[in-house]
Chain A
């Protein structure tokens, strides 16, 4: 493991250096002009500094040597879910931050953190200052289960739980009570598996990651020994991927505990499955059959064909002590199979309930069309419906699913469409737009000061410094005010 980390470290620095030489080739092509106040090229504004925002920016900068791109972000820190969503024990997935850093440091790109679009500045004001605006602000809400008891202490959304261990400032006070033996997670996607894995992973493994110190301490004192991951449908509909499942199977000192009845008929269906689904199902069946070391202290398992109907409160009615599940049967097969109620119910005792049934985008500004049913901004290939000059990329465009590669491809698509519109004359580039200069000035009149990328680099250096002290890659700052103080110091 340590060797791999060393090799990855070398690879990382090699790629960084290589990346820098790629970037400098870009700069040379433009004649290395610094400062764009005299530029009359297209100016694009991107709302949201996560993967979608940065990948869209990257493509735009590459496709048009005269384009200037400004990325606005609500938090003082960039990178969105790469920083706050990817699990602490998946550091390689975060390598993409190097690519985004290059983009942010590109001389035709600027990052503006600490700007709340919709509150500090409106979309219309941005559209006046730029030739085009791209919405890449992701999905900050979560789908609720819609059952009674959902608001009881002991019940959390996976989004908040993940935000807690990943240092999202708005989740720093979460303080989940980990003194119960059993935790139940609703949902069986990769986020659910991340939560299960973090709950059961040995502390020795976690303490060298960038998990927040307070989460690490809470997990070190955790009494949780059993995690059930519950889904409405069957094994063939499970939404997680094989890498995450393999990590559960390989967790030290844990065994798998599944119900053979849940796997009836699955073996026969294997041969007709496409490769990814087949490999995933085979691994699941192997885990179900072999279980693992009986002496293992901890266990985890999937429970299929079950939907939550009620959170059960303890005698004092003050916290969750269990969950009532309805048993389902499957109608149809494959991806489109539906869960139908049977009327049977089952109660599971547990003190921690985490609902991992999906993130959800919210509307940012009344001027932007929003589809409340699908919780996305209605669009055609990234062009926002009925709104010239407004585009979208990432989860706010497609819905909150997909890995970084999916968002990358999607962002590249939006960028391509935007470039096409520029070239087809659908965007009037003959008008000069003031861009960031105007917006920064406007924000100043409203008492809002932006965090530039160089300011983020100070926050970054401070986090790495604190991390070094603790033997971790970084210790994330949890407080926005502290971030700002360091940024502007």
Chain B
């Protein structure tokens, strides 16, 4: 199938040039529960369990009990509707949103080149996130209605201690007109 062929070639492309652990959390086969555990030439674990390895975390490829790695997240969309989802540790908040039909755009596809995946993080969980890198801060600076608890969804990687986190999508409608003519960057 085209999808799996594309994934295989994409995956082997990375593998040829970069030595990284297999990153199951970005693979659509994994996310669609269609992973067979086989990858081209990776030193992948021989067991067929779907292990989740953090996108931005190194090492630890042992397979923990799945229950311990479940992270419950609630998205609050622009209409205020609460969408609770169950995620696995290591998943990315933008991809997770797309998986569950949450209306979070990702124009630059997680390359830190836009601010369309801007979300507000529930305050007690905001503290637990690692500091944003400079490039994320630069992009956040361009997001309308920036708040203290603003982050880019594509940079949030789920960990068990973020269980219960709420991610609110900013309502960016009326305020555009309320403040009159404000020069915007471009």
Chain A residues packing against B (C-beta within 8 Å) = 2-3, 6-18, 20-22, 25, 90, 92-93, 95-96, 98-99, 189-191, 239-243, 246, 275-276, 279-280, 335, 381, 398-406, 408-410, 413, 416
The 8 Å CB contact of B6, one of A17, A96, A381, A416, is A17
Q: Which of B37-45, B62-70, B83-91, B176-184 contacts A (4 or more CB under 8 A)?
A: B176-184
Known contacts A2-B17, A408-B105; can you find 7 more A-B pairs with CB under 8 A? A3-B17, A18-B28, A18-B95, A399-B181, A401-B185, A405-B143, A405-B144
- Shortest beta-carbon distance from B157 to chain A in Å: 14
Q: Can you give 20 contacting A-B residue pairs, CB < 8 Å?
A: A2-B17, A7-B14, A8-B109, A8-B111, A9-B13, A11-B111, A14-B7, A14-B26, A17-B28, A18-B99, A21-B28, A92-B113, A93-B108, A95-B107, A95-B108, A98-B109, A239-B183, A279-B138, A404-B107, A409-B173
| Alpha-carbon gap, A409 to B98, bound state (A) | 18
B143 surroundings in chain A (CB, below 8 A): 405
Query: Are A9's CB and B10's CB within 8 A?
Result: yes
Taking Cβ atoms with an 8 Å cutoff, the residues of B that contact A are 3, 6-7, 10-11, 13-14, 17-18, 26-28, 31-32, 95, 98-99, 101, 105-116, 118, 134-135, 137-139, 141-144, 146, 172-173, 176-177, 181-186
In whole angstroms, how far apart are the Cα atoms of A20 and B116 in the complex?
Answer: 19
- A6 and B16 alpha carbons, distance in the complex (Å): 10
Given A3-B18, A18-B28, also A93-B109 (CB < 8 A): no
- Minimum Cβ distance to chain A for residue B24 (Å): 12
B3, B142, B182: residue with the most chain A Cβ atoms closer than 10 Å:
B142
Q: Find out whether the CB atom of A95 lies under 8 angstroms from the CB atom of B182.
A: no
A17–B184 Cα distance when bound, in Å, is 33
Report the Cα distance A20→B11, complex, angstroms: 18
With both chains docked as a complex, state the minimum distance between the C-beta of A282 and any C-beta of chain B, in angstroms. 12
Considering the complex, give the chain A residue whose CB is closest to the CB of B170: A409
> Is B110 a contact partner of A276 (Cβ separation < 8 A)?
no
Report chain B residues within 8 Å CB of A13.
6-7, 10
- Docked-complex contact B185 and A409, CB < 8 angstroms: no
Residue of chain B at shortest CB distance from A274 = B146
Contact: A18 with B98, CB < 8 Å?
yes
Shortest CB distance B169–A (Å)? 11
Which A residues are in CB contact (< 8 Å) with B137?
279
Chain A CB count within 10 A is highest, among B26, B118, B141, B144, for: B141
The residue in chain A whose Cβ has the minimal distance to the Cβ of B23 is A10
A3: which B residues are within 8 A, CB to CB? 17-18
Whether B113 lies near A90 (C-beta < 8 A) is yes
Question: Which residues of the other chain, A, contact B95 by a CB distance below 8 angstroms?
Answer: 18
| Whole-angstrom CA separation of A430 from B11 in the bound complex | 51
Using A18-B98, A406-B144 as known contacts, say yes or no to A6 and B184 having CB atoms under 8 A apart: no
Contacts A10-B11, A408-B116 given: A403-B109 contact, CB under 8 Å?
A: no
